[in-house]
Amino acid sequence: MKQSVLILGVTGSIGMSTINVLNQYQDDYQIKAIVSGSNWQDLARIAKEHKVQYVGISDESSYNNLKDELSGTDCQVFAGQEGILEICGKGYDIAVAAIAGFAGLASTIAAAKYSKKLCIANKESIVCAWNLINQASKASGCKIIPVDSEHSALFQCIENHNNKKIHKVAITASGGALRDYSRDQMAGVTPEIALKHPNWNMGAKVTIDSATLVNKGLEAIEAAKLFDLSSSEVDVIVHRESIVHGLVYYSDGSVISQLGVPDMRSTISYAIGYPHRMEINHSLLNLPEMTKLSFEAPDFTRFPMLKLALSLIDDEQYKLITFNSADEVAVNAFLKGQIGFLDIERVITETLSNMRNPNSLGTLEEIQQFNQSVIEQASKCL
Ligand code: MG
């Protein structure tokens, strides 16, 4: 029988790569539900192509366009946050959580509640509300498999090993578009320059986060949450070639790492197929042809946001939410030309010093409410 699949964030970079992987396995998987933010044209096209049963759009004003476009098909159309949660609640063999940012939180938690396996690419949810995702998946028995390349690497290196004997882990960073820029040069960086990632082809938010190394900071926090590690057990190594994605240092001196050409379809297929490996059309890693693989310690002076994120790993949840969401506000403003590149870190730092710990962050509503106050505070810092 075919396994049913829900794709949250289907029109984004990870979502489209997921479709690409599943296209090669149409006898084994049925894309049963897809969700997107506001891109109703692509959503309708994918829904028709794959005869999808449930289609959700978060932007309610696009509902009528989507509904018209899908009239005459068997698709059931949903809109808004409630509609998307209703889709998640229908239950799936596999859910792919690939909405970028805090906006993906509620649906990621719902997917953990109602799916057998959650392939998670929405790192911001893990950073802001791992407590809720973990609770939901434990209660439902949902298996969580990371899709982010570094975390997939760690997962693959830890799987089948005794994880009590881990000394530490390391995730690698390409260094982003500005890896050789001085602070003075960074001050004049435009969105166009920062959006040119050297190795990976990704969405705008994560590409800007790669340029500030905020992305690597979020990923270090993500690794600590996923694998239950403290700040002293998570390292970041700058590795320009993006071939080695993660390393696990075991207590006996062995280091196990995972390598591969940068291609998100590899980690997506790993997560979807787990525990079996799928076959995808990929370019083979040819090590002798590579002139070198380089490794450096990160430069915290040029990239202070990475240092800040690493220092927050063991800190309180409200600070993690603040770091994440102040960055979302700042990156948005930078992309719109409202602030300069270095203002991103100023907004994050100022917002962090202005936020206080709320009484409780034990429920989704409390986390959403706190997040709203971070957005308001960060907007004042623009
Ligand atoms: Mg990554």
Cα torsion 354, 359, 362, 365: sign: negative
What are the backbone angles phi and psi of residue 288, rounded to the nearest 5°? -60, -25
How would DSSP label each residue in 328-371? HHHHHHHHTTSS-TTHHHHHHHHHHHH----S---SHHHHHHHH
Structure tokens at 148: 């982010």
Residue 190 CA to ligand 1 center (angstroms) comes to 23
> CA 210, CA 202: separation in Å to the nearest integer?
10
Residue 63 CA to ligand 1 center (angstroms) comes to 32
Judge residue 27's burial from the number of C-beta atoms within 10 Å of its C-beta, 0-12 exposed, 13-18 middle, 19 or more buried.
exposed
Percent of the chain with pLDDT over 90: 95
Residues of the chain with pLDDT under 50: none
Residue 202 CA to ligand 1 center (angstroms) comes to 10
> CA 114, CA 208: separation in Å to the nearest integer?
33
In the prediction, which pLDDT does 198 show? Answer: 79
> CA 343, CA 330: separation in Å to the nearest integer?
8
Closest CA to 226 of 174, 321, 158: 158
Judge residue 138's burial from the number of C-beta atoms within 10 Å of its C-beta, 0-12 exposed, 13-18 middle, 19 or more buried.
exposed
| Amino acid symbol at 164 | K
Residue 203 CA to ligand 1 center (angstroms) comes to 12
In the prediction, which pLDDT does 122 show? Answer: 96
> CA 10, CA 49: separation in Å to the nearest integer?
13
Residue 122 CA to ligand 1 center (angstroms) comes to 11
Residue 201 CA to ligand 1 center (angstroms) comes to 11
Residue 220 CA to ligand 1 center (angstroms) comes to 10
Ion ligand 1 neighbours (CB, 5 A) are: 148-150
* Residue ranges of E strands in the chain: 3-8, 29-36, 54-57, 76-79, 92-97, 115-120, 143-146, 166-173, 234-238, 244-250, 255-259
Residue 224 vs residues 194, 219, 247, 271: alpha-carbon distances, Å = 27, 9, 14, 19
Residue 59 CA to ligand 1 center (angstroms) comes to 27
What element of type H or E holds 99? Answer: none
> CA 7, CA 33: separation in Å to the nearest integer?
6
In the prediction, which pLDDT does 163 show? Answer: 62
Q: Half-sphere exposure (CA, 13 Å, Cβ side) for 38?
A: 4
In the prediction, which pLDDT does 160 show? Answer: 79
Residue 344 CA to ligand 1 center (angstroms) comes to 20
In the prediction, which pLDDT does 292 show? Answer: 93
Residue 76 CA to ligand 1 center (angstroms) comes to 34
Residue 72 CA to ligand 1 center (angstroms) comes to 40
Residue 19 CA to ligand 1 center (angstroms) comes to 19
Residue 310 CA to ligand 1 center (angstroms) comes to 16
Residue 95 CA to ligand 1 center (angstroms) comes to 19
Residue 217 CA to ligand 1 center (angstroms) comes to 10
> CA 188, CA 341: separation in Å to the nearest integer?
7
Residue 143 CA to ligand 1 center (angstroms) comes to 20
> CA 305, CA 341: separation in Å to the nearest integer?
12
Residue 150 CA to ligand 1 center (angstroms) comes to 5
Contacts of 244 (CB under 8 A, 6+ apart): 153, 172, 257, 258, 259, 293, 295
Residue 70 CA to ligand 1 center (angstroms) comes to 35
Residue 174 CA to ligand 1 center (angstroms) comes to 10
Residue 86 CA to ligand 1 center (angstroms) comes to 29
Residue 348 vs residues 5, 195, 237, 321: alpha-carbon distances, Å = 36, 20, 23, 11
Residue 235 CA to ligand 1 center (angstroms) comes to 14
Residue 239 CA to ligand 1 center (angstroms) comes to 13
> CA 350, CA 288: separation in Å to the nearest integer?
47
Q: Which residues of 29-45 are buried (b: 16+ CB within 10 A; e: fewer)?
A: bbbbbbbbbebbeebbe
Residue 171 CA to ligand 1 center (angstroms) comes to 9
3-state secondary structure of 275: coil
CA angle at 217 for the pair 213 and 220, rounded to the nearest 5°: 135
